Amino acid sequence: MASLPASLAAAVAIPDEQAISEARFAAESARSLTELKAAMDAFSGCNLKNSARNTVFADGQAGARVMVIGPAPSGDDDRDGMPFSGKPGQMLERMLGAIDLRRDTLMLTNVIPWRPPGNRVPSPRETDICRPFIERQIVLAEPQYLLILGNFAARFFFGGNETIHNSRGDWREVLIAGRTIPALATLHPQDLISAPASKRLAWQDLLAFQARIRG
């Protein structure tokens, strides 16, 4: 097979075991969220980064009790360089406001920091490369509770192939770097925009989340 031209090869990251190891080393070397963001900006081992405008990193209050985690950046997130931008972000703010939470008092992020082309689902190998970065964000942010949004994020943290309609609303435990964190999954804000009838289910989940974090 002919080799790629040097200019093209430089823009292509092959998602292999070496890339996963490099991601793990970069993440574990970071001693603060600022260092982790710099490490992710410098990382070149994930092909998703080559088509994305921005690295979409965690946003919000450091040390917040609650971390909200979605799947991957949307087009709005990628443009703004911030998670939960645009209409889904506005919907999320309404969801949080319904249980007396504000996004500026929380930490918001995504499992995947770079927008997949066409908003496709990340491949298993791409997900493996990004795993050290989101896990390190959680370690450094030290949240007491996780609110997980949507199918992809729920499967990432809980395992299995359940749909969000089957995994939502139940408290589970997520083990990150030897620490167990209570987590609850619910529908993604985009799900509520696409299917407004689902707001009733999300409201039930949010009430359960509110009761737990207040208790």
Mean pLDDT computed over 34-62: 95
Inform me whether the pLDDT recorded for 35 exceeds 70. yes
- Residue 152: its H or E element: helix 151-158
DSSP 74-136: -HHHHHHTSSS-HHHHHHHHHHHHTTT--GGGSEEEESSSSPPGGGPPPPHHHHHHHHHHHHH
Confidence of residue 13 (pLDDT cuts 50, 70, 90): low
For residue range 118-132, list pLDDT tens digits in order: 999 999 999 999 999
Q: Which helix (H) or strand (E) holds 166?
A: helix 164-167
Domains of the chain listed by start with CATH number: 16-214 (3.40.470.10)
The answer, yes or no, to whether residue 6 has pLDDT greater than 50, is no
Q: Taking the mean position of all CA atoms in its chain, how far away is CA 92?
A: 14
Q: Are 48 and 128 in contact (CB under 8 A)?
A: no
- CA–CA gap between residue 169 and residue 187 (Å, rounded): 9
Residue 16 — very low, low, confident or very high, per pLDDT cuts 50/70/90? Answer: confident
Q: Read off the tokens for 92.
A: 């999320």
Record the tokens describing residue 110, joined without a space: 């995504």
The pLDDT tens digits of the residues spanning 142-167 come to 999 999 999 999 999 999 999 999 99
Question: What is the pLDDT of the chain when averaged over all its residues?
Answer: 92
Asked whether 213 and 66 are in contact (CB, 8 A), the reply is yes
Tell me, what's the pLDDT at 133? 98
pLDDT per position as a tens digit, 75-94: 999 999 999 999 999 999 99
Calpha distance 19→22 (Å, rounded):
5
Cβ within 8 Å of residue 131, ≥6 positions away: 23, 156
